[in-house]
Amino acid sequence: MSVKKKSGRQLVQGRLEMTARGFGFVQVEGEAPGSKDVFVSPTDLNGALHGDTVVVKLLHESRGGKREGEVTRIVERGCSRLCGLFAATGAGGFLIPDDGRLPENFRIAKADTLAAKDGQAVLVEILDYGSAGHPPKARVIEVWGDPWQAGVQVRMAIFAAGVAESFSPEALAEAAALPVLDSCEPGREDLRDLSHVTIDGEDAQDFDDAICVEKSASGFTLYVSIADVSHYVRPGTALDREAYRRGTSIYLPGRVLPMLPERLSNDLCSLVPNAPRPAFTAVLHFDAQGRRVGQRFTRSLIVSKRRCTYTEVERLLFQGDAALAQDFGELATMLGHARDLAALLKTRRLERGSLEFDAPESVARIEAGKVLAMHRAARGRANMLIEDCMLAANEAVAETLFQAGHPVLYRIHEEPDPEKLELFADAARILGLHLPAGQPDSHWVAEVLTMAAETPHSYMISNLLLRAMLQARYSPENVGHFGLAAKSYLHFTSPIRRYPDLIAHRVLQGWLCRDKTSRDPEALAEAGLHLSRCERKAVDLERNALARMAVLFLRDRVGEDFAATISGLSTFGLFLELEESGISGAVPMALLPADYYLVDSRRHRLIGERWGRVFQLGDRVLARLEDALLTEKRLVFSLR
């Protein structure tokens, strides 16, 4: 930690995180996690912007332990480019930054506008960060166009997140030079005769997992074959460095930012039908009750016999579509075995306390740059069939490597904070649940979810419970997975789109080859932190993009009424979820019926002090859309 004394005041250094309200916090370098950040008021920023590395003079510490400070020096600027909306003036214009945590006064001279039109989305380069009495200046370097186009908003979200859109020339050159592996090389098992199939969504482009299930008198054999990315992406290569830096693929409305170049993700490593592909196969044996009684792992060569979609598998297995069964032929029998095994696996998983959340996120349908629809993502029985097969493979690999003592990155999910669970329990009771007795372990949580499934508030209770949980993360320390009630768990089944899965493949191959070379514990721990951060960034970007899509979707429906449910409340007002689409919005306190409202946070309600009107979590309301604020990425409602 950088700490100095000057004129009796302590100096610290760190990164400045701004808020949309104009003040900021400095995350002090070298301090332990959980340490309080230093608050900086708008008058003490002295020209510093969001993301800058700054030196702060500590002013005083409040009773609650909150430290306050003043920026004395800017060590390094956090950004040199910004995107936002161009506002034209007679002398040129200025930039309204897309990021609300940045000031709106970057002046642009007429010669530096690149002929941008008023209201267009642009990318600018900062020329001067400004000083007292002198506003900051910038010049337009790219004109992105109409900000009401979905593709433009997605591009702005990507830029705001600081995520790379393109691959390095070195990585692309390596990918282009890779030879196709379509024959069974030594050390690889030939499984091309097995009836493997892939099952994905209609719009999927990369197919990294295939399954085959055989049934016998004693039980089932499940083959989970995963694209062998480790054959093509070797440690230390440009491809490997690029994949590690990204950490994960990111799925946005109308666009994907893949972890690997398209040559790999959509071709060499994609288990396309009727083409030999190298794979890593988990061969799992289960008895007739779905208990795993044996497993082995092998590098393989497979051929997917069919590219199936969730929709057609739903029709085939769960709706009895006879014409589709005839079209599938023998594969229909194999998939029937998969359905039966998955049902057993799910039953056993739920019996041990694994959690089933009902909290699908909204998805957007885009055509020609317009958001035509938004709805909650369907999660049908075919989706869950594949999910149960993948969970079984992930758990088997994790148990095997843990028992063998081979260091790897586990997917861990620690037990929730008891206080947060108690707050959740209060909310659940308010929503009408009679909670089970006993300690709130995974069995207790699973029982609550089962009870909630029979109520109109199932989706909301799942959401509230998710908020009470700690976030799952990657770590070399195996502490188990609370949500799955699993003692050992990792990610093995998606190496095309997740780097931790690629690590698992390499470690598993080392175990198969009896390679005793141990991974550096410090490097593995650092990888866990980095890849967990990559995942968080991807989730935040996906949510940011969906918030933008919601504004685009409803921009022409201002003044309309929508059925909604109160999903939260604060001193700001109410938070809503529209019932039909799952879109989120807010009712500011000023737009509530006239009264002075008290916040009863324990009972999750607002109480009108004068007229006694109560707004309760879970209440169904009729909300009128008052505004769709594109620059703020939010929807403003009033109540009818």
Indicate the residue among 25, 46, 76 that finishes a domain: 76
202 with 297, same domain? yes
Q: Give pLDDT tens digits for 563-600.
A: 999 998 999 999 999 988 989 999 999 999 999 999 98
CATH number of the domain enclosing 12: 2.40.50.140
513 with 619, same domain? no
- Per DSSP, which regions of 368-425 are E strands? 370-376, 410-412
Task: Please tell me the predicted confidence (pLDDT) of residue 7.
Answer: 47
- pLDDT < 70 regions, the chain: 1-9, 32-34, 61-64, 358-359, 516-518
Compute the distance between CA of residue 548 and CA of residue 54 in angstroms, rounded to an integer: 31
Q: What angle do CA 466, 427, 472 make, to 5 degrees?
A: 15
Give the closest residue to 25 by CA, choosing from 5, 48, 2: 48
291 with 399, same domain? yes
Distance of CA 505 to CAs 205, 206, 221, 496, 508, Å? 22, 18, 21, 12, 5
Range of the domain at 117: 81-147
190 with 229, same domain? yes
Contact 69, 12 (CB under 8 A): yes
Count of domains for the chain: 5
325 with 366, same domain? yes
Distance of CA 523 to CAs 85, 325, 399, 497, Å? 42, 50, 22, 21
219 within some domain: yes
Largest CA distance in the chain: 85
3-class secondary structure, 3: strand
**What are the φ and ψ backbone dihedral angles of 266, each rounded to 5 degrees?**
-110, 0
Helix, strand, coil tally for the chain in percent (to 5)? 30, 35, 35
Question: What angle do the packed helices 418-430 and 442-452 form, to 10 degrees?
Answer: 20
Q: How many CA atoms lie within 13 A of 94 on its CB side?
A: 9
623 within some domain: yes
46 with 143, same domain? no
Token digits of residue 350: 């739920």
Task: Please tell me the predicted confidence (pLDDT) of residue 8.
Answer: 52
142 with 263, same domain? no
Contact 167, 151 (CB under 8 A): no
164 within some domain: no
Contact 225, 212 (CB under 8 A): yes
Distance of CA 206 to CAs 149, 265, 307, 332, 419, Å? 26, 6, 11, 23, 42
Using CA atoms of 118, 121, 123, 129 in order, give the dihedral in degrees to the nearest 10: 60
553 within some domain: no
Give the closest residue to 541 by CA, choosing from 134, 278, 248: 248
369 with 402, same domain? yes
Q: How, if at all, do strands 9-18 and 573-578 pair?
A: unpaired
- According to DSSP, residue 131 is labeled B
158 within some domain: no
328 with 377, same domain? yes
Contact 78, 52 (CB under 8 A): yes
Indicate the residue among 76, 103, 136 that finishes a domain: 76
Neighbours of 320 (CB within 10 A): 9
The 3-state secondary structure of 204-269, one letter per residue: CCCCCEEEEEEEECCEEEEEEEEECHHHHCCCCCHHHHHHHHHCECEEECCEEECCCCHHHHHHHC
Token digits of residue 207: 């197919």
